[in-house]
Structures are given as structure tokens and as C-alpha cells.
Amino acid sequence: MLQFLDHFLDSLNPSHTTFRVYIFAAIILIFSLIIFRTILKMVKFIYAYIINARRLRCFPEPPRRSWLLGHMGLIKNTEEGLLVVDSLVKTYIYACSWWFSLCYPIVRLFHPSSIKPILQVSAAIAQKDELFYGFLRPWLGDGLLLSHGEKWGRHRRLLTPAFHFDILKNYVKIFNQSTDIMLAKWRRLAVEGPVSLDMFEHVSLMTLDTLLKCTFSYDSDCQEKPSDYITAIYELSSLVVKREHYLPHHFDFIYNLSSNGRKFRLACKKVHKFTAGVVQQRKKALQETGAEEWIKSKQGKTKDFIDILLLSKDEDGNQLSDEDMRAEVDTFMFEGHDTTASGLSWILYNLARHPEYQEKCRKEITELLEGKDTKHLEWDELSQLPFTTMCIKESLRLYPPVTAISRRCTEDIKLPDGKVIPKGNSCLISIYGTHHNPEVWPNPQVYDPYRFDPEKLQERSAHAFVPFSAGPRNCIGQNFAMAEMKIVLALTLYNFHVRLDETKPVRRKPELILRAENGLWLQVEELKS
Ligand code: HEM
């Protein structure tokens, strides 16, 4: 190295010895500074790491798999993985620490009193955690689910009116019609008697159809023809979870070269092509009518989601960029149909396991529909299904479509028992764990809709049941989803019996959404009278 420097200086100015000495000294000094800074940074990092690890000791820690891997790989995204979560919750009740490899700790929270402080605090203090959500970014962009800071606040304010009750009321007709299409298909398939169907397949197409019609005024006919979009969504959800669980694939350059990385890119392309088509169609219609006319035609009426996206302007009069619009469309398209499909599929499964509750729901629905000309539900009638609503909520408790969410704390967060989640750490808010916590829900594995008897509500914390999360970043579409689930369930039970298919055992599969390994197969049989 020194020899090289000497040659280098020779070539600069061989005659000037003093100058050479100065340059030489300066270079040595710079190198020393760089080395010193690197060492200082490492010392700082190790010091911060030790202090943080010490502070995290207030949380109990389950035995690690090894000193290097920490707890990595102990919870798989399978039925067995969920059983491990059950046993963690039973053992630690409130929270525990968890290490991904040697250096990445998270705090797992699974009690209403532990999740409440994180969910209630402002979105700037409990931010979305990049490790958990970052892999979704190439697919969902910087939409409402993943954005933060000012942008998130602006878009949340912009889009909230699209989910006002006055708008949701208009969607009830579409919920009824989309369910009719699904049930007509079931009728054709079950014409010769009971038939076994994968609920996820049928219900996902129906919820996608509904979402496209409601929020994008787009008639895709997707229930009648195979959907590349749905296949790609399934693939993306599963690939994202696989990536989370395999450390080398956390690095973009390795992932991009892997076969899963290639599959991910291809599936993203398919999804983006579909969403771009939806936006383009509506943009064209708007251009043909002209923005002025369009707004006039909406006077007195409420604007839907895509109207808001296309017509909104910021303080400076700028419209949403194409990229922002695409991100919001991708986010709502995924969040809006897959979660509801999971919720509905598991509700039907639970009612198939409990024919007595199924019958009780059917009686309630029949009393409501009997004597009406159209066997459709109206908005005002949704509040007249108390038992059916209890069954839906109990299913969302036992099988929450979103099993966990994650946050990174930008400040220390104190829990009611005095423990502190130190600033800079990530925490995993386990919705599944909170819903299965025996301290909060006696016999948590039992499906018992009477837990949601309105009279029992006072007995529990408001954070004991959080399928839609809570606080500033709760689910913007929860009223949409509840209304849709009530209508789909009511019409389905009014027309069909659902039973378990004993030949196809059900195993849960927690991916981005709680699915079933190899599908969720139920026998459906049309009710004749
Ligand atoms: C049963 C159905 C649904 C469930 C269980 C559900 C659950 C959730 C949960 C747990 C979150 C919080 C995610 C997080 O913090 O990381 C969330 C956020 C969100 N949900 Fe839902 N959701 C459902 C239906 C819907 C529907 C129908 C839509 C739209 C039409 C929707 C749109 C969104 C959006 C945009 C966010 C992000 C909100 C924000 O960060 O400001 N969801 N949902």
C-alpha cells in the first residue's frame, strides 16, 4: 500500500520532496480517520445493541433455537405455527421478546392491555415497520396501507369520505347482486345434489366482483371467467411470506436473482396490468364527459372511491400522480377483496361445524326475508340480524383474516404494567394471539357466538377484539366489509345448507391473510323450500 502511494506521488511531482511528505501525511491521516470513524460506529452500534438488549430483558424470552438464529424458524406459517403462537400466549399472557437471528429483536404483543398503547398512539410514533411491510412495496406501492407521514394523513383524509354510510348504502344492491351470481353458480354445480366447493375460490371471485363494481364502477364479469388477477394475488401473498421467512432473500439483489424473485416480478406485472386497465377505463369515461360535466352530474350525489382519486387536488391544485393513483388502486383492490373473502370463508366453515348456530341464523334471516317480494336485504335491515352478526364476530375472533400487524416505535412506549418498549424497536401486534388469549377469552378455541351478546360487551376491553385493528391506522373499509359479510351470509344461508366435507380436512395457513392449506372445502346443498 505504502509502496503504491510512493509510486503515485512520484508520478505527481517527483522533484518536490516536502510536497510529497505533506500529501503522504494527509493520505495517512484520512485513512486513519476513516478507520477511526468505522471503529467508533461499530463501538456505538455494539453499545446501543447491548443497552437495547438489556432494556428488552423486562420482557420474558422463550428459549432460542440457537445463539445465531435466535427464534428464527420456530413459528412457521402453518397450522403447527399457529399452535406455537397459542402456546406462547398461554405461557406469557401479555408479551415476550423474540429474536430474528442474533441482532434483530421484536416484541410480540398478545394482550389487550399490551396492544392498546401501541394502537392508540399517533401514527408518527408507531410507524409501519419496513421489515414486515417493505416486501409488499413493489406490489402495493406507497398506498394507504404502506405510506406514512404527511402523505398518509393527506390520503387518509381524502379517502375517508368514500366509506361514509351515505356511500355504503348505495352498495347494498351490488352486494346482493354479486351474491346472487355466486349462488346461481352454486345452483348449477349442485343441481344433482350436494357438491363440495372450495369456499376461498368462489368467495374471492365474488368479493372481487363486488369491490370492482362498488369502488371502481367496473363490471369485470370475473365470477364467470377464470381470473389471472386472483391467481397472481395468491402467488404474491405466498411469495411475500416465504421471503419474510428466508433471511438471504431479505437482500434485494439475492432475491431478484432467485426463481421466487422472478415469479414475484411476473405476478406483480400481471396485477399492475389489471389495475391499470381498471383506472384507464374510468379515466377515459371521465375524459369523454369532461371533468366539469362529471362533477355536475355528481351534484347532490356522493362521489365514490375512484371519483375521489381522479378528481382530487392538493392545496396547490395538483392532481394525484399516476403512481400515487396506481398505488391506492392496488392497495384497495387487494385489501378490499382478499380480507373479506377470508372472513366469509371462515364464517361459513364455522357455521358448517356448528349446524345448530347455522339453523338459528337461517331462522333469523328467513323471518326477515319472508313476505318480501325480492329476497334481497336493504341497508336498514342489516341491524335486524343480531344473532347472525354475533356469529360473524365470533368467527372473526377465532379466525381473524389479518393475523398480525407490525409497528416500529419512534419513541419509548410504556405499557400499563410498567414495562417499556424501547425506542427504535419493532413490535408484532398479534391479532390472532389477542383473540386466543385465555386470560381474555375463556376456552378460546371454542366457537361460541354468545360471547358477543351485547350485554357482555362491558365485561371486556375494547381492544380484546380487533380484527380491523384500532386507532388512527385502523381499517378504513371495516363498515364496508361488515355490511358485505352480513348480506352474503344471509343470502347464502337462505338458499343453501353448508356442511363439512369430511374427506378434506381443513388446515389453517397464515399468510398475509389467513387462508386454508389446499383450500377450504365445504359441501353445499340447495334448500328446496
Ligand atoms: C373482513 C375484512 C377486513 C379485515 C379483517 C381487515 C383488516 C384490516 C387490518 C387489520 C388493517 C390494519 C393493517 C395494518 O395496520 O397494517 C387494515 C387496514 C386497511 N384496510 Fe382493511 N380489512 C378488511 C376489509 C377491508 C376493505 C373491504 C377495505 C377497502 C375497501 C379495506 C382497506 C384497508 C386499507 C386501505 C387499510 C390501510 C389503512 C391505513 O393504514 O390507513 N379493508 N384492514
Query: Could you tell me the CATH number of the domain that includes residue 522?
Result: 1.10.630.10
In this predicted structure, the answer to whether residue 403 has a pLDDT above a threshold of 80 is: yes
The span from the CA of 405 to the CA of 51, in Å, is 26
Report whether residue 432 contacts ligand 1, using a CB cutoff of 6 Å.
Answer: no
Same domain, 198 and 208: yes
Beta bridge partners of 473: none
Report whether residue 145 contacts ligand 1, using a CB cutoff of 6 Å.
Answer: yes
Question: Which among 346, 338, 337, 391 is positioned nearest to 506, based on CA atoms?
Answer: 346
Report whether residue 209 contacts ligand 1, using a CB cutoff of 6 Å.
Answer: no
Side chain identity at residue 79, one-letter code:
E
- Residue of the nearest CA to atom 37 in ligand 1? 145
In a domain, 345, yes or no: yes
Q: Over the stretch 312-322, which tens digit does the pLDDT of each residue have? A: 776 677 777 88
Contact at 8 Å (CB) between 383 and 234? no
In a domain, 46, yes or no: yes
Which residues, 6 or more positions from 335, have their beta carbon under 8 angstroms from its beta carbon?
145, 475, 477
Q: 124: burial class by Cβ within 10 Å (0-12, 13-18, 19+)?
A: middle
Residue to mutate (ligand 1; options 475, 476, 480; most atoms within 8 A of CB): 475
Q: How many CA atoms lie within 13 A of 446 on its CB side?
A: 8
Report whether residue 340 contacts ligand 1, using a CB cutoff of 6 Å.
Answer: yes
Residue to mutate (ligand 1; options 339, 394, 435; most atoms within 8 A of CB): 339
Give the residue-averaged pLDDT of 374-387. 94
Same domain, 368 and 459: yes
- The alpha carbon of 173 and the centre of ligand 1 are apart by a number of angstroms equal to 22
Q: What is the pLDDT of residue 255?
A: 95
Give the residue-averaged pLDDT of 457-478. 94
Q: What SS3 string covers 199-218?
A: HHHHHHHHHHHHHHHHHHCC
Dihedral sign of CA atoms 504, 509, 511, 513 in order: positive
In the structure grid, which three cell numbers stand for residue 418, read together? 410498567
Q: What is the pLDDT of residue 334?
A: 87
- The alpha carbon of 476 and the centre of ligand 1 are apart by a number of angstroms equal to 6
Report whether residue 477 contacts ligand 1, using a CB cutoff of 6 Å.
Answer: yes
Give the residue-averaged pLDDT of 337-364. 97
- Ligand 1 atom nearest to 467, measured from its CA: 5
Tell me which of 370 and 463 has the higher pLDDT.
Answer: 463
Report whether residue 339 contacts ligand 1, using a CB cutoff of 6 Å.
Answer: yes
- The alpha carbon of 180 and the centre of ligand 1 are apart by a number of angstroms equal to 25
**Strands (DSSP E) along 26-164, which ranges?**
95-100, 104-109, 126-128
Domain limits for position 46:
22-56
Report whether residue 345 contacts ligand 1, using a CB cutoff of 6 Å.
Answer: no
The span from the CA of 323 to the CA of 335, in Å, is 18
Same domain, 28 and 166: no
- List binding-site positions for heme: 475
Q: What is the pLDDT of residue 272?
A: 92
Same domain, 49 and 179: no
Report whether residue 334 contacts ligand 1, using a CB cutoff of 6 Å.
Answer: no
Q: Over the stretch 72-88, which tens digit does the pLDDT of each residue have? A: 888 889 999 999 999 99
Res. 227 pLDDT band, cuts 50 70 90:
confident
Residue to mutate (ligand 1; options 142, 213, 330, 335; most atoms within 8 A of CB): 335
In a domain, 432, yes or no: yes
Same domain, 119 and 39: no
- Ligand 1 atom nearest to 152, measured from its CA: 41
Same domain, 47 and 192: no
Report whether residue 510 contacts ligand 1, using a CB cutoff of 6 Å.
Answer: no
In the structure grid, which three cell numbers stand for residue 263, read together? 415469479
- The alpha carbon of 330 and the centre of ligand 1 are apart by a number of angstroms equal to 13
Domain end residue (candidates: 6, 32, 56): 56
In a domain, 7, yes or no: no
Same domain, 277 and 408: yes
Q: Over the chain, what is the mean pLDDT?
A: 90
Among 322-336, 384-398, 505-519, name the one with the lowest average pLDDT.
322-336
Same domain, 32 and 72: no
Res. 158 pLDDT band, cuts 50 70 90:
confident
- The alpha carbon of 305 and the centre of ligand 1 are apart by a number of angstroms equal to 15
The span from the CA of 143 to the CA of 321, in Å, is 12
The span from the CA of 182 to the CA of 434, in Å, is 34
- Phi, psi angle pair for 224, to nearest 5°: -100, -20
Same domain, 144 and 28: no
Q: What is the pLDDT of residue 10?
A: 62
Q: What is the pLDDT of residue 16?
A: 64
Give the residue-averaged pLDDT of 237-245. 86
SS3 (DSSP) at 422: coil
- The alpha carbon of 249 and the centre of ligand 1 are apart by a number of angstroms equal to 27
- Cell 485513512 locates to 31
Tell me which of 522 and 16 has the higher pLDDT.
Answer: 522
- Residue of the nearest CA to atom 2 in ligand 1? 340
Q: How far is CA 201 from CA 175, 198, 461, 467, in A?
A: 18, 6, 35, 22
- The alpha carbon of 478 and the centre of ligand 1 are apart by a number of angstroms equal to 7
In a domain, 13, yes or no: no
The span from the CA of 290 to the CA of 489, in Å, is 40
Percent over 90 (pLDDT), the chain:
64
In a domain, 3, yes or no: no
Report whether residue 469 contacts ligand 1, using a CB cutoff of 6 Å.
Answer: yes
Which residues, 6 or more positions from 56, have their beta carbon under 8 angstroms from its beta carbon?
97, 105, 107, 422, 425
Same domain, 42 and 91: no
Report whether residue 305 contacts ligand 1, using a CB cutoff of 6 Å.
Answer: no
- Cell 400487524 locates to 405
In the structure grid, which three cell numbers stand for residue 268, read together? 406483480
In a domain, 11, yes or no: no
- List binding-site positions: 475
Same domain, 140 and 35: no
Count of structural domains within the chain: 2
Q: What is the pLDDT of residue 401?
A: 98
What predicted TM-score, i.e. pTM, was given to this entire model?
0.90
Dihedral sign of CA atoms 480, 484, 487, 493 in order: negative
Report whether residue 332 contacts ligand 1, using a CB cutoff of 6 Å.
Answer: yes
Contact at 8 Å (CB) between 364 and 387? yes
Same domain, 124 and 146: yes
Q: What is the pLDDT of residue 287?
A: 79
In a domain, 1, yes or no: no
Side chain identity at residue 293, one-letter code:
E
Q: How far is CA 180 from CA 29, 173, 394, 481, in A?
A: 78, 11, 25, 18
- The alpha carbon of 208 and the centre of ligand 1 are apart by a number of angstroms equal to 15
Beta-strand pair 426-430/104-109: parallel
Q: What is the pLDDT of residue 529?
A: 66
The span from the CA of 129 to the CA of 409, in Å, is 9
- Residue of the nearest CA to atom 23 in ligand 1? 339
Q: Over the stretch 1-59, which tens digit does the pLDDT of each residue have? A: 556 656 665 665 555 678 778 888 899 999 999 999 999 999 999 999 999 999 999 99
- The alpha carbon of 474 and the centre of ligand 1 are apart by a number of angstroms equal to 7
- Ligand 1 atom nearest to 344, measured from its CA: 1
